[in-house]
């Protein structure tokens, strides 16, 4: 929320009205942000699913497969930091457009890779674009959606990640025999190209414009999101520009970084290696695809189930509860039990780890003021990307050494640590 008083409805201080009703422009902003999250997740899942094919076609070692997964994560780390800062300094909208252009362009080029070295470079570039989606899109949603609907819709937006992974699994399963892994990459990237003209319809957020003293533009942006209503806002009171490491925000920055790091380390360690680990354990590839579909359905159920729970118990409590469940189930799943128990352990794990993200994602942007919102979410997301970079490397090294289960012990400890961190953040809230 940004300071500044409205003299005429509907908005105040750069904020949209505080109710829960949505108009068609709220839905447009929400839809284009959902699409970005959908294609982000879809791309990562396509990479995970074609990894067993590349393992054989290019005679890759498990460590090389880990490097391919890590390349995108390294790019996402860079993108989170760069685009988070760009969105806070230059504006949400420029970053909103550039991220999808980088993602879609380099995603399509992955289909033309001639070897692991080329694909690794391209996956890094794709990751740079994807890395900007979370810090930029969460700021757009937070600053355009009505306050009364914000937490619910941010949690619902995060549902696009497991839905995208499910769509990728269905896509790869159907097209891989006919088009190979190149066709899978291409079919994932091309629809994302359509996002660019849709994102151009969305203006800069009123909260950012008001924080920059651009009063007339902020009023026009509020008028746009309010379907043409006349809006007048007073300039905000002058205040010094904070930083993520200033005394007021230092502990919040550290704790949100720890929260995202620990949860992401366990989360990405599981999902990026899941198909390959199952193949290495002797499961036929067709059965792996079927199992992964069920895994993603359980993830969607986890996100949906947490929507009403968030209203009752609050965001931190959701992270604590799902963290305990995920820690227990990841230890069981890592033992790769018999087929029936593998379904219970794996699908239960998917339910809990996705349910936890339903609390983490909407919780983070509310911890920061508008001047730091994208940068704060970007820094937290960057910590998560560091974790997602390290986790597949750890699994690759331990799998090659015959110590795979040690990784799952680490994942369990990470889920528990995330729950403790969420409790520590309960009293933190960014000023308006």
194 lies in a domain? yes
215's tokens: 């009063």
Q: Which structural domain, as residue segments, surrounds residue 371?
A: 6-424
Q: Is residue 430 part of a domain?
A: no
Whether residue 432 lies inside any domain: the answer is no
Segment-wise mean pLDDT, segments of 10 residues, the chain, 432 residues: 42 51 92 93 87 87 80 89 92 95 94 91 94 92 87 86 84 83 87 89 92 88 83 64 80 94 93 79 80 86 89 86 95 75 86 91 86 89 85 84 87 95 78 44
Distance (Å, whole) CA 309 – CA 357: 13
Residue 102 lies inside a defined structural domain of this protein: yes
Is residue 162 domain-resident?
Answer: yes
Total domains, the chain: 1
pLDDT of residue 19: 53
Residue with tokens 């996402």: 76
**Closest C-alpha to 223, from 6, 371, 373:** 6
Question: Tokens 């054989």 appear where?
Answer: 56
Output the pLDDT for position 149: 82
Does residue 431 belong to any structural domain of this protein?
no
Separation of alpha carbons 326 and 320, rounded Å? 10
Residues 155 and 349: their CA atoms lie apart, in Å, by 19
Q: Is residue 309 part of a domain?
A: yes
Closest CA to 261 of 130, 154, 151, 417: 417
Tally Cβ neighbours within 10 Å of residue 285.
Answer: 16
The domain spanning residue 50 has which CATH number?
A: 1.20.1250.20
- Cis peptide, bond prior to residue 10, ω within 30 of zero: yes
pLDDT for position 313? 84
Q: What is residue 188's three-state secondary structure?
A: helix
Q: Please spell the DSSP secondary structure of 259-274, one letter per residue.
A: HHHHHHHHHHHHHTTH
Spatial distance between the Cα atoms of 179 and 236, rounded to a whole number of angstroms: 56
């Amino acid at each position: 929320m940004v300071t500044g008083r409205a003299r005429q409805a509907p908005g105040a201080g750069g904020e949209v009205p505080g109710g829960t009703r949505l108009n068609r422009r709220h839905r447009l902003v929400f839809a284009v942000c959902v699409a970005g999250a959908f294609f982000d997740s879809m791309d990562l899942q396509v990479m995970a699913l074609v990894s067993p094919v590349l393992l054989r076609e290019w005679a890759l070692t498990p460590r090389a497969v880990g490097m391919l997964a890590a390349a995108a994560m390294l790019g996402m780390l860079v993108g989170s930091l760069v685009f988070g800062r760009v969105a806070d300094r230059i504006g949400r909208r420029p970053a909103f457009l550039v991220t999808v252009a980088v993602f879609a362009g380099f995603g399509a080029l992955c289909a033309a890779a001639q070897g692991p070295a080329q694909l690794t470079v391209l996956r890094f570039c794709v990751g740079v674009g994807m890395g900007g989606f979370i810090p930029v899109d969460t700021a757009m949603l937070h600053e355009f959606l009505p306050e009364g609907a914000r937490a619910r819709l941010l949690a619902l937006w995060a549902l696009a990640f497991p839905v995208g992974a499910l769509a990728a699994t269905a896509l790869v399963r159907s097209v891989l025999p006919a088009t190979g892994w190149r066709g899978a990459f291409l079919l994932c990237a091309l629809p994302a190209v359509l996002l660019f003209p849709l994102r151009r319809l969305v203006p800069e957020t009123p909260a950012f414009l008001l924080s920059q003293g651009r009063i007339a533009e902020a009023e026009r942006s509020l008028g746009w999101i309010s379907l043409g209503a006349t809006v007048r806002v007073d300039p905000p009171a002058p205040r010094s520009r904070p930083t993520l490491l200033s005394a007021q925000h230092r502990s919040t920055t550290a704790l949100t970084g720890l929260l995202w790091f620990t949860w992401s380390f366990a989360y990405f360690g599981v999902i990026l290696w899941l198909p390959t680990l199952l193949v290495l354990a002797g499961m036929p590839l067709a059965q792996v695809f079927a199992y992964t579909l069920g895994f993603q359905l359980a993830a969607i159920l986890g996100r949906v189930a947490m929507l009403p729970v968030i209203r009752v118990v609050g965001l931190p409590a959701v992270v604590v509860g799902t963290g305990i469940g995920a820690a227990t189930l990841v230890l069981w799943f890592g033992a790769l039990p018999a087929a029936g128990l593998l379904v219970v352990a794996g699908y239960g794990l998917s339910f809990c780890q996705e349910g936890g993200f339903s609390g983490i994602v909407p919780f983070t942007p509310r911890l920061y003021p508008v001047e730091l919102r994208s940068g704060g979410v970007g820094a937290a997301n960057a910590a998560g990307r560091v974790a997602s970079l390290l986790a597949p490397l750890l699994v690759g090294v331990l799998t090659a050494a015959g110590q795979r289960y040690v990784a799952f012990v680490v994942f369990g400890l990470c889920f528990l640590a995330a729950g403790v961190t969420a409790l520590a953040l309960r009293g933190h809230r960014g000023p308006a």
